[in-house]
Structure 1
Amino acid sequence: MEEVSNKQVVLKDYVNGFPKESDMLINTSATISLNLPQGSNALLVKNLYLSCDPYMRNRMTKTEDSYVPSFTPGSPMEGFGVAKVLDSGHANFKKGDLFWGITGWEEYSIITAPESVFKIEHTDVPLSYYTGILGMPGMTAYFGFYEICAPKKGECVFVSAASGAVGQLVGQFAKLLGCYVVGSAGTKEKVELLKNKFGFDEAFNYKEEQDLDATLKRYFPDGIDIYFENVGGKMLEAVLLNMRLHGRISVCGMISQYNLEQGDGVRNLFCLVSKRLSMKGFIVADHYHLYPKYMEMVIPLIKQGKICYIEDIVEGLESTPVTLVGLFSGRNVGKQVVVVARE
């Protein structure tokens, strides 16, 4: 069987605090056969695009208290990506098919559970979109906003980390519904993007605000109906004070907490009682059965130009360590994608 080089990104050891580029290494000595063994039910794939996502930080720490298993030091990391099938032992896939789902951070991967990935049917949109708007982040925005928040026209919506892969979509979904939408981000460039590209009514740089409670009162003088939570910590504390009666909080993530050895305690939680708030966390993988419904909604919006999606694309597998680390300092603008190979 033909063996070829298979460059990989490997986690050296479990990480404490902020991850560093040096916590990962590029393994250039691995090889792989480009043919599956006889009788295999797996897929042999060539990885085209890899997604860098904040949830991956939790997988870099040894923990049993998580919805996704920790990475194994010394082995290739993995995450969402887009790949092309080179050899298939599964009835639902043939050579040349494309899919999105969990794959290895390497040039070639063997997918041992093909039923867990999604075959790509629409190829008249950028393939990289399947790491974002047409993949896990898109479904996250869709379920977290529509299903948990049950939004109504005219409501006031606040989105933190609003220029990221999920936040930019939540804001646009809310605007399409006729809501008043404000987003927070960490740079002037991102604030301008929210207002001028994504159509948010207002946006602010949280790093320039001394008093988040006062900031939110300025943008939401009558309170917040819906908060899409991506940050946690002090932002959540301030939001709780500014929620309206019967407001809804969809908890997607808390990126401010991921690199802390001891997470922040959150004050103002009694607002959940006094304001009769609903606050619910979710894991998008529990709701993938809604993916066809989501695609029916979002594909026309993309083709009609009614929704905009910004990607931050870098080239080369060797770029993944510095690119992943950059997520936690807000270096990316939009969905962070690494190109492994062009189809």
Structure 2
Amino acid sequence: MSYTSQQWRLQSRPHGAPKPENFLWDEQSVREPRDGEVLLRTRYLSLDPYMRGRMSDAESYAKPVEVGDVMVGATVSEVLESRSPDFEPGQTVLGYGGWQTFSTERASTLRALDPDEAPVTTALGVLGMPGFTAYAGLLAIGNPQPGETVAVAAATGPVGSAVGQIAKLKGCRTVGIAGGPEKVAYLEELGFDAALDHRSGDLVEQLRSAAPGGIDVYFENVGGAVFEAILPRLNTFARVPVCGLAASYNATELPEGPDRAPALMGLVLRKSLTLRGFIQNEFVPTMFEDFLRDMGAWVREGKIQYREDITAGLDRAPEVFTSMLDGGNFGKTIIEVSG
């Protein structure tokens, strides 16, 4: 049986925030699977901030999407046809089909999902890449100790919310930073010891009250003004896992003002700070099995809560993606492509 895939392709590289004209809606016949491959129908598509970087041809840790290619992204899909002994039609799998309704992928790149263990969408969030990013970055780099204070920006997102809850399970005081009263209220619901609104205009004062003894671990998702407010509160030997810099993803030029690098490096030296950037896949060989065991148990036992922001319709992916980059999402951003 032949299939036609509806797709979003990269039509041009954005300058600043992505715009509708940067995306192209297309339809293509789906290639039949060869030996070792499976044909998939996309059920859910993950939208993540890293995709903005892949739209650019600037030097990065991953190859950019070429102009004209289908936009990349993790997907939960149904197996329609299989030329692999590892999968059979009807199974649900985690893959990397991108922004399209059907895909043909190598079986070796897929992971089977059990809908009876957890909702399959969690493979794109709390039990997938974002959850593992939080788990590995916090534990391997942050190394939180009982009684320490852990702060995290973008704290209602899929990474930040997991960071705060894991830190709480490790016996830490947790400070979450988010934008707007509704998100602050959600942080309180999750059990953060302090929930701060970076849009209130007085984040420095809020941090002084929320972390009077300073901050031992700051999980960086944002950069920009939030990072500048955090810096003076970092304790000696504080650790800063650098996961993302969302505040600058759409920047087209350097910020105005003096060069702040000397002051930052001076603080790193005086306080013996550890700033460590990371990409989650570097920890997969050593930590992923532990993550699946630990996070799976914490979710089943209700110790880790999560929120998903699901929008129906692949046609809405560009607008939802652009809104997410501007903080318009509330939880893990997912597109429901088919039921």
Q: Normalising by structure 1, what TM-score?
A: 0.92
Q: State the secondary structure of the residue aligned to 1:15.
A: coil
Render the CA deviation track for 1:230-280: whole Å, top value 9, x for unaligned. Answer: 011222222221111111111000000111123446554121111111111
Render the CA deviation track for 1:193-238: whole Å, top value 9, x for unaligned. Answer: 1112x1111111111124x433322211110000000011222222
- Equivalences for 1:95-114 in 2 at 5 Å? 95-112=89-106, 114=107
Which of 209, 214, 221 is the equivalent residue of 2:212? 221
Tell me, yes or no, if the aligned pair for 1:209 and 1:215 is still in contact at 8 Å. Answer: no
Deviation at 1:58, TM superposition (A): 0.6
2:70 maps to a residue whose letter is P
Tell me, yes or no, if the aligned pair for 1:257 and 1:263 is still in contact at 8 Å. Answer: no
> In the alignment, what sits opposite 1:70?
64
The change in CA–CA distance for 1:81 and 1:266 in structure 2 (over 3 A counts) is farther
Q: State the secondary structure of the residue aligned to 2:333.
A: strand
The change in CA–CA distance for 1:121 and 1:266 in structure 2 (over 3 A counts) is farther
Which of 236, 239, 245 is the equivalent residue of 2:227? 236
Which of 200, 207, 215 is the equivalent residue of 2:199? 207
Partners of 1:9 and 1:123 lie apart in 2 by 31
> In the alignment, what sits opposite 2:250?
259
> In the alignment, what sits opposite 2:76?
82
Tell me, yes or no, if the aligned pair for 2:30 and 2:104 is still in contact at 8 Å. Answer: no
The change in CA–CA distance for 1:90 and 1:262 in structure 2 (over 3 A counts) is farther
Q: Say if 2:280 is the partner of 1:284.
A: yes
> In the alignment, what sits opposite 1:338?
335
Render the CA deviation track for 1:65-89: whole Å, top value 9, x for unaligned. Answer: 1111111222211111211222223
- Equivalences for 1:114-153 in 2 at 5 Å? 114-121=107-114, 123-153=116-146
Partners of 2:21 and 2:157 lie apart in 1 by 25
Unmatched runs of 5 consecutive residues or more in structure 2: none
Q: State the secondary structure of the residue aligned to 1:207.
A: coil
Tell me, yes or no, if the aligned pair for 2:151 and 2:218 is still in contact at 8 Å. Answer: yes
Partners of 2:114 and 2:278 lie apart in 1 by 27
Q: Say if 2:34 is the partner of 1:43.
A: no
The change in CA–CA distance for 1:117 and 1:66 in structure 2 (over 3 A counts) is farther
Partners of 1:101 and 1:251 lie apart in 2 by 26
1:88 maps to a residue whose letter is S
Q: Normalising by structure 2, what TM-score?
A: 0.93
> In the alignment, what sits opposite 2:169?
176
Partners of 2:5 and 2:61 lie apart in 1 by 29
Render the CA deviation track for 1:73-119: whole Å, top value 9, x for unaligned. Answer: 2221111121122222334333333222322211100114x333322
Identical columns (%) = 35
Q: Which moved more, 1:260-269 or 1:243-252?
A: 260-269
Q: Say if 2:208 is the partner of 1:192.
A: no
Which of 54, 63, 81 is the equivalent residue of 1:59? 54
Render the CA deviation track for 1:287-333: whole Å, top value 9, x for unaligned. Answer: 22222111111111111111110000100111111111111211110
Q: Say if 2:7 is the partner of 1:13.
A: no
> In the alignment, what sits opposite 2:28?
30
The change in CA–CA distance for 1:120 and 1:266 in structure 2 (over 3 A counts) is farther
Partners of 1:21 and 1:153 lie apart in 2 by 47
Partners of 1:311 and 1:325 lie apart in 2 by 17
Partners of 2:115 and 2:280 lie apart in 1 by 21
1:55 maps to a residue whose letter is Y
The root-mean-square deviation of aligned C-alpha atoms, in Å, is 1.7
Tell me, yes or no, if the aligned pair for 2:91 and 2:112 is still in contact at 8 Å. Answer: yes
Number of aligned positions between the proteins: 333
Partners of 2:115 and 2:69 lie apart in 1 by 33
The change in CA–CA distance for 1:266 and 1:132 in structure 2 (over 3 A counts) is farther
Partners of 2:95 and 2:4 lie apart in 1 by 23
Unmatched runs of 5 consecutive residues or more in structure 1: none
Deviation at 1:171, TM superposition (A): 0.6
